[in-house]
Amino acid sequence: MTKSVDDVLVPGTLNVGDTVPVCVEAFLFFGLVEMDVLTLVLMIAASVIGSFLMAGIVSRFDRKMVRYALFVGLFILASVILMKNLGVGPFGTQGTATTLRGVKLIVAVVGNFVFGALMSIGVGLYAPCMAMVLALGMDANCAFPAMMGSCAYLMAFGNGPKFIQEGRYDMVASWTQAIFGAIGVYVAYAFVKSLPLDVLTKVIVVVVYLTAFLYLRDGIKKGSAA
């Protein structure tokens, strides 16, 4: 909305700039539940590989393609957050498992590979990963080390370095996100557990939908793709 970052640099800026805050998050929340190590490691590895491969593709997108990709990504993200807020689908389920094996482990690994890839076009991994964890019958707390660990590693070792290598990120915006995002994460960790988040979540859904359609409008109306 403020035109502070060129649209073509948005995917890279989001992933490079949020690396530090997400690593802080992962450090704070890793001890929340004793999740099976093999399940966690395989999910994280899959997300890193998916993000690295997709970043190489997104880095070759022109401005118009980036706008269309961000529209799709943000529309999906807002829809999943809305489902989470309303308790629709897997979000209404409760499980107790902390370990996955067999077909369920394969589903979790493949799912996180896809979510990691989608991170490179602006689809947040947190909400879909939480939905998948709940749908597979796992303890809801397992979503925290799974999603935060996945994002920390994929940004630090997957798509982040790729976007930096290709020069597809905004340096000033990335540093701003890194510094103030890390402060925000700590504030949230210390205080957010006592705050009513229902209204805030609904506001976020509206903003994300609005942003998605602004990218779609620009993709359709603005001719420059260079």
> What are the DSSP calls for 109-144, one per residue?
HHHHHHHHHHHTTT--SHHHHHHHHHHTTB-GGGHH
Write the CB contacts of 55 (distance below 8 Å, at least 6 apart in sequence). 12, 15, 120, 158, 159, 162, 163
Q: Give the residue carrying structure tokens 């019958």.
A: 137
Per-residue pLDDT of the chain (226 residues; tens, 9 = 90+): 778 888 889 888 988 999 999 998 888 877 666 788 899 999 999 999 999 998 888 888 887 888 888 888 888 878 877 887 787 777 666 678 888 999 999 999 999 998 888 888 777 788 788 888 888 888 877 888 888 889 999 998 988 888 998 899 999 999 999 999 999 988 887 776 555 667 767 777 888 888 888 878 888 876 555 5
Contact assessment for residue 47 and residue 153, using Cβ atoms and an 8 Å cutoff: yes
User: What's the rounded Cα separation, in Å, for the pair 43 and 41?
Assistant: 6
Sequence ranges of the domains in the chain:
7-221
Phi, psi of 97 (to 5 degrees): -70, 145
